[in-house]
Amino acid sequence: MPRKITVTVFVLFCSGLLSVFSQETTKQTRFFETEYAIGKIIPNDFDFFPKNGPQQIVAFNYGILKHDTSSWGRFYNFPEIGITALYGNAGNNRVFGHQISLLPFVTFNVFNRSKAVYKLRIGLGASYFSERFDIEKNPTNNVISSIFSWDIRTALYRNIIETNKFVLKFGVGFAHQSNSHTRIPNKGMNSLLFSVSGQFYTNENYKKPIRISNEKYASKDKFVHFRQGVGFHEQNEYEGPQTNLVRPVYSTTVGYGKIVNHHVKLSTGFTYRFYQHYYDFLTDSNIVGLSNNPTLNASNFLIYFNGELFMHHVGLDFDLEVNLYKPFFNHFHPSKNVVSTLRQILSTRKGLNLYLFDTHSLPKTNMYIGAYVNTNLGRADFMEFSVGILKKL
């Protein structure tokens, strides 16, 4: 079941981002890019994490520079959209094997007042690792345990050399791979990477058009938000004697916010979550201070802060969450240092929304379906699907 869920989410993720590529592409400059990256895995568990050396990646990127006059192309300062195929190793081939990834991406021009050219790239897709956890053959790999994992990458690039058809860039980025806790062990792989890349354009007119200010975008539309989600979470060895059990996580969210300039959604609100396997464990056990009220103590109350980028029917969604109440997790993942304490307090949520109506048509009411990776500050928690509604005030 979890494997089918994971594959379904990957298809939804990739098809959603690829749908952006097909929007209004009447004026295009295509590019091919080769990239070499080197870096290191950042352990998220200092007590037990597989040893690893330098991480190395070779990537091939294909995409287009949007010159069209669509509203989102102008607003995001004529971004690049494309897809990455990469091969890499994580510094320990015996434990992690070889990595193959496929990621659609969007690259935004940033720091536009700087004389140098900077670009921010966001990619979301899937990774395959040739070696995974096996209780007999590969017991030390507590990082990757499923055939496919999420692959989420962000990188900041600076142009070093520019000619009419070629750009040499230096980049620094962060990568995260995990199956979002649908199969354990799954501590997840977090990496800091430095890269050099050469970008070749298919014609000499690769320079982006000049963005023209348009007063009609100077708006702030207020809205209320409701979302209902269901996630999939596998119990691990820290959370009870019975592992490899996938149970649902139910989420209900209400919020309020503003849509700035028709393209950026900013909001805050309240989320309630209920972990089914936490409840099952508490009802079958006698945990002092928890089992006396299993429903409440299997719950999670939090405040979230959200940012979302609208691109027609697609939204790239990011949440930072502050846990107000999460007793089960805090009991079985006690505070030992600064990182574990922050992990009790903060969580994140990253994903993709597909909207029923074009977000740029400014509908009074819009509905969406979404898929997300939920983490406890870099450590996977659960994979989630949701349906939601935005209602303008």
The answer, yes or no, to whether residue 286 has pLDDT greater than 70, is yes
Does the structure show a pLDDT above 50 at 25? no
Greater pLDDT, 299 or 12: 299
Please say if the pLDDT value at position 98 is more than 60.
yes
Residue 367: predicted pLDDT = 96
Nearest to 51 by CA among 98, 101, 93: 93
Per-residue pLDDT tens over the stretch 312-338: 888 989 999 999 999 999 998 888 888
Specify the pLDDT at position 19. Answer: 55
Q: Is the pLDDT of residue 66 over 80?
A: no
Which residue in the block uniquely carries the two structure tokens 């691109």? 311
Q: Among 30-39, 60-69, 193-202, 212-221, whose mean pLDDT is lowest?
A: 212-221
What average pLDDT does the structure give for the chain?
Answer: 84
Is residue 214 classed exposed, middle or buried when 0-12, 13-18 and 19+ CB atoms within 10 A define those classes?
A: exposed
List the structure tokens of 203.
């014609």
Confidence of residue 1 (pLDDT cuts 50, 70, 90): very low
Region 204-214: mean pLDDT is 54
- The ranges of the chain annotated as CATH 2.40.160.20 are 2-201
From the candidate CATH numbers 3.40.50.880, 2.130.10.10, 2.40.160.20, 3.30.450.20, the one assigned to the domain spanning 2-201:
2.40.160.20
pLDDT tens figures, 333-392 = 888 888 889 999 999 998 889 999 988 888 899 999 998 889 888 777 888 999 999 999
Query: Residue 300 has what pLDDT?
Result: 97
Scan for tokens 């536009």, then name that residue: 112
Residue 285 confidence (pLDDT): 86
CA pair distance 321, 379, nearest whole angstrom: 14
Residues present in the chain in total: 393
**For residue 150, pLDDT beyond 90:** no
Mean pLDDT (whole number) for 260-264? 85
Could you list the beta-strand ranges (E) of the chain.
28-41, 55-66, 80-89, 98-110, 118-129, 148-162, 166-178, 189-201, 220-234, 246-260, 264-275, 299-311, 314-325, 346-355, 365-376, 379-392
Q: Which residues contact 278 (CB under 8 A, 6 or more apart)?
A: 239, 294, 297, 298, 328
Cβ atoms of residues 269 and 303 within 8 Å: yes
What pLDDT, on the 0 to 100 scale, is given for residue 158? 95
Give pLDDT tens digits for 225-241: 999 999 988 766 666 65
- Residue 125 binned pLDDT confidence (cut-offs 50, 70, 90): confident
User: How large is the average pLDDT for residues 85-108?
Assistant: 91
Binning pLDDT at 50, 70 and 90, where does residue 204 land?
Answer: low
CB 339, CB 293: distance < 8 Å: no
- Higher-pLDDT residue of 163 and 321 is 321
pLDDT above 70: percentage of residues in the chain: 84
Q: 384 CB contacts (<8 Å, ≥6 apart)?
A: 229, 230, 231, 232, 249, 251, 349, 351, 370, 371, 372, 373, 374
* Higher pLDDT pick, 185 / 254: 254
Q: Model pTM? A: 0.77
Position 215 confidence tier, pLDDT thresholds 50, 70, 90:
very low
CATH of 215-392, one of 1.10.3470, 2.40.160, 3.40.190, 2.40.128: 2.40.160
Confidence of residue 244 (pLDDT cuts 50, 70, 90): low
pLDDT of 119 strictly over 50: yes
